[in-house]
Amino acid sequence: MDSVDIGFILNGREHKRAVRPNQILVELLRGDLGLLGTKVGCDQAVCGACTVLVDGDPVAACATFAFEIDGREVRTIEGMADEQLHPVQQAFVDNAAFQCGFCTSGMILLATSLLERDDDPDQATIREWLSANICRCTGYMMIVEAVAEAAKTMRKRAPGS
Amino acid sequence: MSEHTPLRTVGAAVPRKDAQEKVTGSAVYTDDISLPGLLQGKVLRSPHAHARVVGFSTDKAEALPGVVAVVTRGDFEGMSPFYGYLIKDQPVLAVDKVRYIGDMVAAVAAEDEATAYKALELIEVEYETLPSMPDIESALADGAPELFEGDKPFGVANPYGTGASGSIYPQKNVCYDFNFEMGPADAFAGCDHVYEDSFNFSRLQHMHLEPFVSVARWTHDELEIWSATQSPFVVRKELARVFGHPENKIRINVPYIGGGYGAKNACKTEPLAAVLARKARRPVRLRFTAEECFLTNTQHASIHHLRTGVMSDGTLVARQSEIFLNSGAYADASPLVAEKAGYRINGSYRWQHIDTKCLCVLTTTAPAGAFRGFGGTQAAWASESQIDMIAHRLGIDPYDMRMKNLLNLHDPYVPKESGIDSDLREGLTLVADRLGYKTRRRQRGRGMGLSVVVKDGGGANKPAHAFVKATTTGGVIVSSGTVEIGQGSTTALTSIAAEVMNCERDRVSLAPVDTHSSPYDQGTFASSGVAIMGKAIEIAAEKVKREVLEFAAGDLDCDPGDLELLDWTIRKGNEVHPLPPMIMKHYGGPGFEFVGHGYYKLPEDHDAPLETQISYWENGWGGAEVEVDEETGQVRVLQLIVSSDFGRAINEGACRGQDEGGAMMALGQTLFETMVFDGDTLLTPSPLHYRVSLARDLPERFESILQEQGHGPGPFGTKGGGESGILPVASAVANAVEDAVGVRITDLPITPEKVLAALDRQKATGEG
């Protein structure tokens, strides 16, 4: 089998592609689709720099086959902002929650997946959730604070709150 | 704390300049660079720790469809294929021998990564294995094999001034030694007590998330490289020497860098990428895997023997130290690390006599090089641990012992050296108070520890060039060789220019780093960006401003001193004169640019130990509270308080990030993070096996206190602060453990096994 036909929604838009059976999701995103905001760090599903959301779940795009996203919805960092930054992105800006920026796309998506499940996580929950990814620069506190701030913003914006 | 004049941009609560790009994923890194016809490079590495390379067979690899070039030592025609900082000992690919497991032997450029990997499997190499020497003890043992046999690689020792000396290859398997002596040796004779203690420092992996990566392309005889490097101009100079190629025909571009912490200094992937691209006649990306990064550069493990003489009242008198650094198989930055590990062993204290010797020991392991803290981390671990040990022996509180012996503000670090530029007691009091040190309730199992550290910053003898230019309509472009590696240089350097030019920071942009157009820089290291490069930018911006004011004074027929520049208008009393029409009236419709060059360097001083006085001191303070579980030996850090004096913070968020990032890296090293070797074999060879600090490792209370004491030499009183946070943590925690349960751990990391063993010894001897 040379290729597999798959269909998926990427950042809100429908896509149909033929992918190699052994093609990795991050190759599809970075190579074929030119979405370079997803970074490859360790390339073994440890560091989380390549985190994208598949049906809202954080996954390591370096350790996911492209065919696994067939029929599913994928969100990358490029799909986060519309006219303005997503509240998580804005909170990362306002809290200087990044330095070199290499983990930032993955951290923002990881944090978003938390806040879409739990709109008022406590410190311990945020720390535990963020432990899926590595940031070697910041020492984490400013990221934790950014996520708490983003939660507050998102609660204010949520309908009915 | 000093009061500051409020400034417009410096210290303003504004986001980092690189924020939008980094949170939207649009920031470009080297791995994002693509060129038409780009090939993928992969490296064949040695499975042996020490072996002669007898021969190769590359035919099968070359015949594999999709393989464009296979390179070995046979492809070095016309080259001097060795590189290194002071000692040119590291081959682009193995020439006579391999010297560690992972040493580079051959490389392939292929149409895609999978083909390149397949080709590596088809290369046959014949080795003749030799005895290995995986650690300091085995490398120094009688009868140890010699890593560099016969004529030694070319190298030059640094020049030194008063009391300091250094030499290359002073003895077998030692590539460098650094020595420093001051004051009379008989000072020991007058001491009430002399204590001898030894310490072991562990070896970290930098684990920058962006791996070592470069893209190389030859166009006719011009070599162009995109690289994640902290020192593009040094890489250019090395490539020129390695290839015998003129520097004007080598161009290095540096996109954003995904972390380095020292590792990305000097040549890493670049020479090999250029060799591959030359043979393939196509551009090549050489991107190491995370496992390969572990085999490319590490921190220095070290052994410290300290002999310290004191008076019964706690006065420090004399210290003799012998330090052994595990340099790995090639010198890399080791000589410079030795210099600093030796020079910083004093800590921030007053001494009558110092006698220090630091040796770089070659072993059959991956090369050790620059790592955040640069020898200072090793020195601080040993020195600040021993201060507490001595205080306990003398029955003095370690806080009081420090307060008694700390250097005063402006006291020279040692004779002929610059003065300490922070009030060290002020910082220690701040941290001790925040921790609650003085009011703590004594109870077995809980304890507190402190640490005060010092590191010379700014890079010894480092020059800085910068350009600033202002366009017709008031856009300001700043250009320097400082690279953005996460430390916040983009923010700091544009803020400094905006402050001087009296405009919004949004009107200032930073030019990309490119060795053809950026002014020369030795590299982004030693926390030198803000204070040293920032100074050159301040000078350049001042020149531009002066030119603009002189130009306007000519037009308005007045004295430049009567004019002020504000948001690209000229203010003359109550009159407002926009600059663009004035400029176009003079230079015509196409307009003009005002250009300023700034240069900054401290004068050479042959009396100073390191040939120039240290430009500023990175001072750091740390305090920890721990709980020790005596059943399991587990140390839990309840509180970690760190503090650095940035002189003046250009951007508080960036400063805080530097301090806290360093501290969390150090907390990992303190408790669990370490490269584990079994002989020559690395048992923690990848991020899967090698554990770094995660968010769940944050102590319950973790705070950084940003000090702005205002004594720095940089613009507006700044100092660098990228490394102070990593320095005090390990010793503060070890000191807290002793405070809690009376046992002293002298060997990092402080694992439950070591704590339990120490508690067992304590029970057996009835001490504590």
pLDDT tens digits, one per residue of B549-578: 999 999 999 999 999 999 999 999 999 999
Nearest CA distance, A161 vs chain B (angstrom): 27
Region at B623 (left for phi over 0; alpha for psi -120 to 50; beta for the rest):
beta
**A33 touches B: beta carbon within 8 Å:** no
pLDDT tens digits, one per residue of A18-36: 999 999 999 999 999 999 9
Q: Do A103 and B663 touch (CB under 8 A)?
A: no
User: Which residues, in sequence order, are bridge partners of residue B167?
Assistant: B177
- The whole-angstrom separation of Cα B518 and Cα B539 is 16
**DSSP labels for A2-34?**
--EEEEEEETTEEEEEEE-TT-BHHHIIIIIS-
CB pairs under 8 A between A and B: 172
Mapping DSSP onto H, E and C, the string for B437-490 reads CCCCCCECCEEEEEEEEEEEECCCCCCEEEEEEECCCCCEEEECCCCCCCCCHH
Q: Do B695 and A140 touch (CB under 8 A)?
A: yes
B5 confidence band (pLDDT: 50, 70, 90): confident
Q: Do A144 and B688 touch (CB under 8 A)?
A: no
Q: Which two tokens stand for residue B411?
A: 């006291």
Amino acid at B521: D
User: Which residues, in sequence order, are bridge partners of residue B215?
Assistant: B226, B285
Q: Do A39 and B258 touch (CB under 8 A)?
A: yes
- The whole-angstrom separation of Cα B521 and Cα B233 is 6
**DSSP labels for B29-75?**
BGGG---TT-EEEEEEE-SSSSEEEEEEE-HHHHHSTTEEEEE-GGG
pLDDT tens digits, one per residue of B464-476: 999 999 999 999 9
Amino acid at B768: G
**A112 touches B: beta carbon within 8 Å:** no
pLDDT tens digits, one per residue of B209-232: 999 999 999 999 999 999 999 999
pLDDT tens digits, one per residue of B329-377: 999 999 999 999 999 999 999 999 999 999 999 999 999 999 999 999 9
Lowest average pLDDT, out of A44-53, B352-361, B397-406, B521-530, goes to B521-530
Element at B585 (helix H, strand E): helix B579-587
Of B23, B206, B696, the CB nearest to A104: B23
What is the reported pLDDT for B364? 98
Q: Do B29 and A39 touch (CB under 8 A)?
A: yes
pLDDT at B381 over 80: yes
Mean local confidence (pLDDT), B418-438: 98
- The whole-angstrom separation of Cα B555 and Cα B569 is 13
**A24 touches B: beta carbon within 8 Å:** no
Name which of B295, B303, B350 is nearest B325 in CA terms.
B303
Burial class of A14 by CB neighbour count within 10 A (0 to 12, 13 to 18, 19+): exposed
Handedness of CA A81, A87, A93, A94 (dihedral sign): positive
Of A96, A130, A136, the CB nearest to B207: A136
Mapping DSSP onto H, E and C, the string for B684-719 reads CCCCCCCCCCCHHHCCCEEEEEEECCCCCCCHHHCC
Name which of A97, A105, A104, A149 is nearest A123 in CA terms.
A149
pLDDT at B651 over 60: yes
Nearest CA in chain A to B689: A46
Mean pLDDT score of chain B: 97
Of A89, A99, A131, the CB nearest to B694: A131
Q: Which two tokens stand for residue B157?
A: 């020792």
The CA distances from residue A128 to A114, A123, A131, in Å, are 10, 9, 5
Amino acid at B119: A
Q: Which backbone phi and psi does B213 adopt, to 5 degrees?
A: -155, 140
- Within 8 A by CB and 6+ apart from B220, the residues are none
Q: Which two tokens stand for residue B150?
A: 């016969």
Do B157 and B149 contact (CB within 8 A), yes or no?
A: no
Mean local confidence (pLDDT), B674-679: 96
Half-sphere exposure of B14 (CA within 13 A, CB side): 18
Question: Which residue blocks in chain A are alpha helix, DSSP H?
Answer: 25-27, 87-94, 104-115, 123-130, 141-157
B768 confidence band (pLDDT: 50, 70, 90): low
What is the reported pLDDT for B4? 75
Q: Do A103 and B487 touch (CB under 8 A)?
A: no
The CA distances from residue B307 to B197, B355, B356, B388, B725, in Å, are 7, 10, 10, 14, 27
Q: Do A136 and B259 touch (CB under 8 A)?
A: yes
B1 confidence band (pLDDT: 50, 70, 90): very low
pLDDT tens digits, one per residue of B245-254: 999 999 999 9
Q: Which two tokens stand for residue A17?
A: 């592609």
- The whole-angstrom separation of Cα B313 and Cα A71 is 76
Q: Do A140 and B256 touch (CB under 8 A)?
A: no
Tell me which residues of chain A, numbers 53 to 92, contact chain B at a CB-CB cutoff of 8 Å.
76-78, 80-81, 85, 89-90, 92
Nearest CA distance, B424 vs chain A (angstrom): 24
Name which of B693, B704, B698 is nearest B621 in CA terms.
B704
pLDDT tens digits, one per residue of B525-534: 998 999 999 9
Mean local confidence (pLDDT), B665-675: 98
Helix pair B652-671, A141-157: axis angle to 10 deg: 120
pLDDT tens digits, one per residue of B699-713: 999 999 999 999 999
Amino acid at B728: P
What is the reported pLDDT for A59? 98
- Within 8 A by CB and 6+ apart from B571, the residues are B563, B564, B565, B577
- The whole-angstrom separation of Cα A116 and Cα A102 is 23
What is the reported pLDDT for B134? 97
Q: Do A127 and B698 touch (CB under 8 A)?
A: yes
**A21 touches B: beta carbon within 8 Å:** no
Do B542 and B534 contact (CB within 8 A), yes or no?
A: no
Name which of B579, B497, B164 is nearest B338 in CA terms.
B164
Name which of A137, A140, A145 to mutate to probe chain B: the one with the most chain B Cβ atoms within 10 A of its Cβ.
A137
Mean local confidence (pLDDT), B471-494: 97
**DSSP labels for B175-210?**
EEEEEEEES-GGGGGG-SEEEEEEEEE-------SS
Do B605 and B583 contact (CB within 8 A), yes or no?
A: no
Instruction: Tell me whether residue B753 is one of the annotated catalytic residues.
Output: no
Longest Cα separation, chain A: 51
* DSSP helix/strand/coil, A52: strand
**A4 touches B: beta carbon within 8 Å:** no
B767 confidence band (pLDDT: 50, 70, 90): low
From the candidates B723, B738, B753, B767, give the one annotated as an active-site residue.
B723
The CA distances from residue B744 to B98, B634, B740, in Å, are 40, 14, 10
Amino acid at A81: A
- Within 8 A by CB and 6+ apart from B269, the residues are B212, B213, B214, B227, B286, B287, B288
- Within 8 A by CB and 6+ apart from B248, the residues are none
- Within 8 A by CB and 6+ apart from B529, the residues are B482, B487, B489, B492, B493, B720, B722
Mean local confidence (pLDDT), B723-745: 98
Nearest CA in chain B to A101: B22
**Complex confidence, ipTM:** 0.98
Which chain B residues are Cβ-neighbours of A76 within 8 angstroms? 25
Q: Do B22 and A104 touch (CB under 8 A)?
A: yes
Terminal alpha carbon distance of chain A: 51
Mapping DSSP onto H, E and C, the string for B543-582 reads HHHHHHHHHHHHHHCCCHHHEEEECCEEEECCEEEEHHHH
- The whole-angstrom separation of Cα A92 and Cα A38 is 17
